[in-house]
């Protein structure tokens, strides 16, 4: 029994933190046209190799677990680093690794290890129709994370998942609440794909759970950052002749934030471990992690704005970026209430006693 | 990261389970589920007998070192024991204050003579202890205490009043914080005295709680005495000793709390299934939320425990008391909502347990450091915010 990061995981975290501190802040990276900073991304892939963490060694990756990925995403979440990291590893890699055949993995995971970006389009109304020895894809996929730029797209249809090149479809970014994480609508107008493009796996739910867990890891990092920023500010901002951090109302709000952050972190770490080892309670553990981390991030970001006063309401400040990312992320990969409903079903509807 | 128990730990679990199964029988069988929080005045005699049974089996003082006569169990083993104890619905421990608070304090600060005199009877379940800290004018602000002890020959003579003293009416001994120093004020000049309860200078007046029963009492000291060598730690240096004890009250001894809470949540789920509340979307949502937070309570406890192994006191350890107290109070409130209109009616059986839970849990956020004090501590100690 050891519920703590290993020395290697701590080194990974520290290296990630040091590296991310060198990158331009989220404002500088999103202000222009919302495009990702290409230099930062090439360093993430080239220097840090984070897109290879979850890719099995056979396919050119590191073959590490979700725990290592969670450690890195916590750091990325903390710095709100705009990049296709989340979509590529949590959605692209996970979908291809979970649903793909060996040949598909060999091709696409190797491409990702080599620097390609990827994402998953599983919301909307895309249908696949048989067309000779291939398929015709039609319809619209919505709220696709990084859908406008991803080089490899995994599309979920009535006939399962297909992998297609990103530039084969019409795609447009949609205005998003969270400016650090673009969403796009994809249109398929009878796109013809070969049968080899169809992924044999059917367990989309597993892909979504795995991705939800990784989003939760990112949310823990974000929540911790708003807490840190807020505590630092309350130590220096003076009113009534004292630091505002000496006022009890402020202290208690920060204490509540710490409870949320550390609880969510416990949930995320456990869920990562449970999925990695295939523990029987992995699904419920992930649902717990996503629900608690989403709620924690949103509540902490809201408190942070309040405790900063007017400055917290400005565009220049980092608070609103966290606040928007928190609310948008809450809506992705299952709202907290959706996960609670699933837990309630396990507790109340099954005849087997829960533990 | 490895959340599984080792083979030896699983063997230990088996040993605990077997022992409890073999001993919670006969007269002890009807104690199952009794004597817990809110019910500490139930079956006291029988629970003391059970305490002695545990002692004979070597199941008291699990956390104590071998030199102190304990088992020297690891934190993981302690958690396993507490989980199995709760799973078997073994009764609330009559000796928990001696085992959890006073014993470790004597082991850390006591003289050899004190260790020899006081530790063994706690392990054997033959002496029950109560904690005399709080006073009418000293609650959250413990350093405002006024009870005084004056040296008279070979004795200390004690005058003053304690309040909210849990189990005072059944205890043989009380550890009392009193002012001993001349010109003593605030944290200076306090000593921790070990005082016999059955003597003319000590009067115990049970206080009826909002639950209707009396688990705590007022304790009046009117010329009570105790020998000079019954001071734990330095004379006039008792504040440090008291803080050590409080750390136990808020720390590791609550690691197994979630095991009892699991039983309560499970019972509530059964009621909800039986009375149809389980079909209400609002109730379902809140039951799920509590289940999630209960899981996290265990996980954070295990994280704390892993950090202990590395000799750290991590900041997540500081959220434990606030977290479980608030969780338990939320459970109590949800219990009433599950009962629906029947919340207004007192009945025997399950409903009775739920009402007790509902009422008792108002105290969880008060004793062992109120929620407000916990938040002060988190802000100032864990987050370094200015005083
Ligand atoms: C069931 C039960 C069992 C107990 N058993 C024992 C026992 O065995 N031995 C023993 O010694 N004591 C015991 N206590 C006493 C317990 O430790 C005290 O009740 C507790 O410390 C609070 O003190 P108080 O009751 O005087 O409330 P107060 O300290 O007067 O608090 C009243 C309110 O003011 C708030 N408050 C106080 N100070 C601050 C502050 N600085 N900042 C913000 N808010 C503040 C509190 O949070 C609370 O809401 C028990 C209490 C209960 C309820």
Instruction: Report the pLDDT value the prediction gives residue B310, as an integer from 0 to 100.
Output: 75
**What is the percent of chain B with per-residue pLDDT over 90, rounded to a whole number?**
84
**pLDDT of residue B354 exceeding 90:** yes
H/E stretch holding B325 reads helix B320-339
pTM equals 0.96
- Residue that the structure tokens 């920060």 belong to: A254
- Cα–Cα distance for residue pair A273/A97, rounded to 1 Å: 18
CA distance B275 to chain A (A): 12
Q: What is the mean pLDDT of chain A?
A: 95
pLDDT given for residue A355 in this prediction: 59
Which residue lies with its CA nearest to atom 48 of ligand 1? B370
Nearest chain B residue to A289 by CA distance is B292
The CATH label, of 3.20.20, 1.10.150, 1.20.120, 1.10.540, for the domain at B7-94 is 1.10.540
Report the side by side order of strands in the sheet with A183-194.
A127-131, A134-145, A183-194, A170-174
Tokens standing for residue A268: 């995320």
Which range, B1-5, B128-132, B262-266, B351-355, has the best average confidence (pLDDT)?
Answer: B128-132
User: Is the CB of B143 inside a 6 Å radius of any atom of ligand 1?
Assistant: no
φ, ψ of residue B63 in degrees (nearest 5): -80, -15
How far is the centre of ligand 1, averaged over its atoms, from the C-alpha of B60 (Å)?
A: 29
What is residue B128's DSSP assignment?
Answer: -
User: A42: how many CB neighbours lie within 10 A of its CB?
Assistant: 11
Contact B266, B352 (CB under 8 A): no
Which region, left, alpha or beta, applies to residue B384 given φ > 0 means left and ψ of -120 to 50 means alpha?
Answer: left
**Residues A227-266: tens digit of each pLDDT:** 999 999 999 999 999 999 999 999 999 999 999 999 999 9
Q: Which residue in B207, B156, B198, B204 sits closest to B177, CA to CA?
A: B156
Res A64 pLDDT > 80: yes
A265-269 mean pLDDT: 98
Q: Report how far residue A137's alpha carbon sits from residue A132's, in angstroms, rounded to the nearest whole number.
A: 13
Q: How far is the CA of B157 from the centre of ligand 1 (A)?
A: 27
Model confidence over B279-319: pLDDT tens digits?
999 999 999 999 999 999 999 988 988 887 777 778 888 99
Distance of CA B193 to the CA centre of its chain: 20
Of A4, A265, A343, the CB nearest to B291: A343
Helices and strands counted in chain B (H then E): 12, 8
The yes-or-no verdict on residue A75 having pLDDT over 70 is yes
Strand, helix or coil at B274?
helix
User: With 70 as the cut, is the pLDDT of residue A106 above it?
Assistant: yes
User: Under CATH, which number does the domain B250-382 receive?
Assistant: 1.20.140.10
The residue written with tokens 């070990």 in the block is B194
Res. A29 pLDDT band, cuts 50 70 90: low
CA distance A35 to A51: 19
CATH architecture entry for B129-236: Beta Barrel (2.40)
Q: Are A205 and A342 in contact (CB under 8 A)?
A: no
**CB-ligand 1 contact for B164 (6 Å cutoff):** yes
Q: Which residues of B are catalytic?
A: 249
* Fold matches, B129-236 and B250-382: no
Q: Which residues in chain A have their CB less than 8 angstroms from residue B9's CB?
A: 1
Residue found under tokens 């290296």:
A15
Q: What is the mean pLDDT of residues B99-111?
A: 96
Rounded Cα distance between B249 and B84, Å, is: 21
For the beta sheet containing A152-157, the strands, ordered from the edge strand earlier in sequence to the opposite edge, are A118-121, A152-157, A160-165, A198-199
String of DSSP letters for B218-246: EEEEEEEEEETT-EESSTTBHHHHHHHHH
- Say if the Cβ atoms of A269 and B322 lie within 8 Å: no
Residue A350 confidence (pLDDT) above 60? yes
**Which residue is closest to B321 within chain A, CA to CA?**
A259
pLDDT tens digits along B213-259: 999 999 999 999 999 999 999 999 999 999 988 877 765 556 678 88
ipTM: 0.95
Better pLDDT: B21 or B306 = B21
- Which of B299, B307, B372, B384 to mutate: most A Cβ within 10 Å? B299
In which band, very low, low, confident or very high, does the pLDDT at B187 lie, cut at 50, 70 and 90?
very high
Q: Which residues of B touch A294 (CB under 8 A)?
A: none
Query: Over the stretch A130-167, which tens digit does the pLDDT of each residue have?
Result: 999 999 999 999 999 999 999 999 999 999 999 999 99
Q: Domain ranges in chain B? A: 7-94, 129-236, 250-382
Would you state the pLDDT for residue B248? 72
Chain A residues with CB under 8 Å of B376 CB are: 248, 251-252, 255
Give the percent of chain B with pLDDT over 70: 98
Question: What is the pLDDT, as a whole number, of residue A297?
Answer: 98
Please give the pLDDT value at position A181. 92
B372 in contact with ligand 1, CB cutoff 6 A: yes
Nearest CA in chain B to A274: B3
Mean pLDDT of B177-205: 96
Which contiguous run of DSSP H or E holds residue A73? helix A66-79
Give the separation between CA A128 and CA A135, rounded to whole angstroms: 6
* H or E element at residue B115: helix B112-124
Chain B residue with the nearest C-alpha to that of A256: B375
Nearest to B104 by CA among B5, B245, B265, B300: B245
Q: Tell me if B292 and A251 make a contact (CB, 8 A cut-off).
A: no
At residue B37, the pLDDT reads 87
The SS3 call for residue B75 is helix
pLDDT at A53: 98
- Report how far residue B50's alpha carbon sits from residue B91's, in angstroms, rounded to the nearest whole number: 8
Q: Do B303 and A3 lie within an 8 Å CB cutoff?
A: yes
Cα B138 to middle of ligand 1, angstroms: 8
Beta bridge partners of A189: A138
What CA–CA distance (Å, rounded) separates B99 from B63? 9
CA of B372, closest atom in ligand 1:
47
Let me know: does A186 contact A170? Beta carbons within 8 Å. Answer: yes
Determine the average pLDDT of the residues in A52-72.
97
B381 vs B313: which has the higher pLDDT = B381
Q: Do the Cβ atoms of B13 and B85 come closer than 8 Å? A: no
- pLDDT for A36: 82
Asked if residue A353 has pLDDT above 60, the reply is no
Q: How far is CA A313 from the centre of its chain?
A: 25
């Amino acid at each position: 029994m050891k519920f703590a990061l290993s020395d290697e995981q701590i080194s990974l975290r520290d290296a990630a933190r040091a590296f991310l501190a060198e990158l331009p802040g989220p404002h500088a990276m999103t202000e222009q046209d919302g495009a990702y900073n290409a230099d930062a991304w090439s360093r993430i892939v080239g220097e840090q190799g984070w897109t290879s963490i979850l890719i099995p060694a056979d396919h050119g990756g590191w073959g590490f677990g979700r725990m290592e990925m969670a450690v890195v995403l916590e750091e990325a979440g903390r710095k709100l680093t705009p990049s296709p990291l989340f979509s590529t590893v949590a959605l692209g890699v996970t979908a291809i690794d979970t649903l793909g055949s060996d040949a598909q993995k060999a091709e696409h995971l190797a491409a990702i290890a080599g620097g390609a970006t990827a994402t998953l389009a599983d919301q909307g109304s895309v249908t696949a129709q048989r067309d000779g020895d291939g398929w015709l894809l039609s319809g619209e996929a919505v709220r696709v994370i990084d859908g406008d730029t991803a080089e490899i797209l995994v599309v979920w249809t009535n006939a399962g998942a297909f992998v297609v090149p990103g530039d084969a479809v019409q795609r447009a970014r949609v205005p998003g609440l969270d400016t650090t994480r673009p969403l796009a609508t994809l249109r398929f107008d009878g796109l013809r794909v070969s049968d080899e493009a169809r992924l044999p796996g059917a367990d989309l739910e597993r892909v979504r759970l795995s991705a939800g867990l990784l989003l939760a890891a990112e949310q823990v990092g974000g929540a911790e950052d708003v807490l840190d920023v807020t505590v630092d500010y309350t130590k220096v901002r003076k009113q009534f002749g004292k630091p505002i951090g000496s006022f009890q109302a402020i202290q208690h709000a920060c204490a509540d934030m710490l409870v949320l952050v550390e609880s969510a972190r416990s949930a995320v770490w456990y869920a990562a471990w449970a999925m990695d080892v295939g523990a029987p309670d992995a699904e419920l553990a992930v649902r717990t992690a996503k629900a608690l981390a989403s709620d924690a991030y949103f509540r902490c970001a809201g408190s942070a704005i309040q405790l900063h006063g007017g400055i917290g309401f400005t565009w220049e400040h980092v608070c609103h970026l966290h606040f928007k990312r928190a609310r948008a992320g809450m809506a992705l990969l299952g709202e907290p209430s959706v996960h609670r409903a699933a837990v309630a079903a396990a507790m109340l509807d099954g005849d087997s006693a829960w533990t | 990261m490895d959340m599984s128990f080792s083979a030896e730990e699983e063997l230990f679990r088996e040993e605990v389970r077997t022992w409890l199964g073999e001993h919670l029988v006969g007269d002890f069988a009807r104690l199952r589920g009794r004597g817990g929080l809110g019910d500490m005045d139930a079956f006291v005699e029988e629970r003391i007998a059970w305490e002695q049974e545990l002692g004979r089996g070597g199941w008291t003082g699990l956390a104590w070192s071998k030199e102190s006569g304990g088992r020297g169990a690891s934190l993981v083993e302690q958690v396993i024991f507490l989980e199995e104890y709760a799973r078997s619905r073994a009764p609330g421990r009559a000796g928990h204050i001696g085992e959890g608070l006073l014993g470790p304090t004597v082991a850390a600060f006591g003289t050899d003579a004190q260790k020899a005199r006081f530790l063994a009877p706690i392990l054997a379940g033959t002496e029950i202890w109560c904690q005399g800290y709080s006073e009418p004018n000293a609650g959250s602000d413990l350093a405002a205490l006024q009870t005084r002890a004056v040296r008279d020959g070979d004795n200390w003579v004690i005058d003053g009043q304690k309040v909210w003293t849990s189990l005072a009416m059944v205890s043989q001994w009380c550890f009392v914080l009193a002012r001993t120093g001349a010109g003593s004020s605030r944290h200076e000049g306090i000593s921790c005295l070990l005082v016999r309860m059955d003597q003319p200078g000590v009067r115990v007046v049970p206080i009826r709680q909002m639950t209707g029963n009396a688990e705590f009492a007022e304790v009046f000291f009117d010329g009570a005495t105790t020998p000079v060598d019954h001071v734990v730690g330095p004379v006039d240096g008792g504040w440090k000793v008291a803080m050590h004890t409080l750390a136990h009250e808020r720390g590791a001894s609550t690691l197994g709390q979630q095991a009892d809470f699991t039983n309560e949540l499970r019972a509530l789920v059964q009621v909800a299934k039986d009375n149809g509340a389980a079909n209400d979307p609002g109730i379902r949502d809140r039951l799920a939320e509590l289940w999630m937070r209960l899981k996290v309570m265990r996980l954070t406890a295990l994280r704390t425990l892993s950090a202990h192994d590395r000799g750290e006191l991590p900041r997540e350890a500081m959220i434990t008391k606030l977290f479980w107290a608030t969780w338990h109070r939320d459970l109590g409130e949800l219990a009433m909502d599950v009962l629906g209109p029947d919340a207004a009616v007192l009945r025997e059986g399950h409903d009775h347990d739920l009402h007790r839970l509902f009422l008792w849990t108002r105290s969880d956020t008060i004793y062992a450091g109120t929620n407000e004090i916990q938040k002060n501590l988190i802000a100032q100690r864990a987050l370094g915010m200015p005083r």
